[in-house]
């Protein structure tokens, strides 16, 4: 049975980019194989320096994952930091990771360009990601197109490590979901908390409506035909509406006579309706946080069994310990 692994950063409230890029695929994959899902709180330290905020975000991600359909009886769900030996593996991997491999990382350059501090943690992010993947002997890693390079780096690290120490680490395979690889944000860039252009899954109704109405559009008059090919509204609407509804909006764009405000209202209604059952489930979980903590604890205990086997092999291979 194939083992799948997915991690998500607790860097803020989950948005629809997270849902379609990670949560929805994760829920689907738990039916296909052995699923390992973790909350990447070590990774979040590259952007969050407030400990209380980080703890709040971790709980929020746990609630959101479970509300969106993750089944703890089928999937292993845990905090990354509950298995601290992942940082030991990251250090060992870093000793065989070529600098040039990390210097070519598109994600690092992009985040620096958007104002994040050029820390060692941000630079070495792909090495810790590799440790996350390899510690649990993952077979398949579902990633968006924007994370594909990180998995390629992981594979390069495995090849380098195994060349030096022998066939110790498993070579993981990517599973790219091109159709939802990049969910567009309010401004047309990739939807990201770092860019402040997100639509949160569980935002209050007024907040979500206001954000939808702020989506960037061009200045084409109401009566004029509009180009549907690059519309942020239509790109988001395709995620929450059926083919017939999408086609109707597309044809309406081409016909003219309707303003962008009306299309934004339709998008809001689609978003609000789609996530209604998940909002109800999340409210139930918030009233039973003991259950959520139990799920994470049991997940960590299960993950630790595999992690200890992997780190023991690695330690023996590199000569650490007896």
> Which amino acids are annotated catalytic?
111, 190, 193
Q: How many Å apart are CA 253 and CA 256, to the nearest integer? A: 6
- What does the H/E/C string look like for the chain? CCEEEEEECCCCCCEHHHHHHHHHHHHHHCCCCEEEEEECHHHHCCCCCCHHHHHHHHHHHHHHHHHCCCCCCCEEEEEHHHCCHHHHHHHHHHCCCCHHHHHCCHHHHHHHHCCCCCCHHHHCHHHHHHHHHHHCCCCEEEECHHHHHHHHHHHHHHHHHHHHHCCCCCCCEEEECHHHCCCECCCCCECCHHHCCCCECCCCHHHHHHHHHCCCCCCCCCCCCCCCCCCHHHHHHHHHCCHHHHHHHHHHHHHCCCCHHHHHHHHHHHHHHHCHHHHHHHHHHHCCHHHHHHHHHHHHHHHHHHHHHHHHHHHHHHCCCC
Backbone angles phi, psi at 167, to 5 degrees: -75, 75
Of the CA atoms within 13 Å of residue 245, those in its CB half-sphere come to 15
């Amino acid at each position: 049975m194939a083992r799948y692994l997915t991690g998500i950063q607790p860097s803020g409230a989950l948005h629809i980019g997270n849902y379609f890029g990670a949560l929805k695929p994760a829920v689907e994959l738990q039916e296909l194989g052995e699923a390992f899902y973790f909350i990447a709180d070590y990774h979040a330290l590259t952007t969050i320096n407030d400990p209380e905020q980080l703890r709040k975000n971790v709980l929020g991600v746990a609630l959101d994952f479970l509300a969106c359909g993750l089944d703890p009886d089928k999937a292993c769900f845990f905090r990354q930091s509950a298995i601290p030996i992942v940082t030991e593996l990251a250090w060992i991997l870093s000793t065989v990771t070529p600098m040039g491999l990390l210097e070519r990382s598109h994600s690092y350059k992009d985040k620096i360009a958007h104002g994040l501090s050029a820390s060692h943690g941000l630079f070495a992010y792909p090495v810790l990601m590799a440790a996350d993947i390899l510690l649990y002997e993952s077979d398949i890693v579902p990633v968006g197109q924007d994370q594909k390079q990180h998995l390629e780096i992981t594979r390069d690290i495995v090849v380098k490590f195994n060349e030096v120490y022998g066939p110790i680490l498993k070579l993981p395979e990517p599973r790219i979901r091109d159709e939802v690889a990049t969910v567009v944000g309010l401004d047309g860039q990739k939807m990201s908390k770092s860019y402040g252009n997100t639509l949160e899954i569980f935002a209050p109704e007024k907040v979500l409506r206001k954000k939808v109405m702020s989506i960037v559009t061009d200045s084409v008059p109401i009566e004029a035909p509009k180009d549907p090919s690059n519309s942020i509204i239509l790109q988001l609407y395709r995620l929450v509406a059926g083919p017939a509804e999408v086609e109707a909006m597309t044809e309406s764009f081409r016909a003219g006579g309707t303003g962008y405000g009306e299309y934004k209202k339709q998008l809001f209604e689609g978003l609000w309706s789609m996530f209604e059952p998940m909002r109800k489930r999340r409210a139930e979980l918030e009233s039973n946080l003991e259950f959520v903590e139990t799920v994470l604890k049991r997940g960590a205990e299960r993950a630790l069994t595999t992690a200890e086997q992997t780190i023991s092999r690695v330690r023996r291979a590199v000569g650490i310990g007896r």
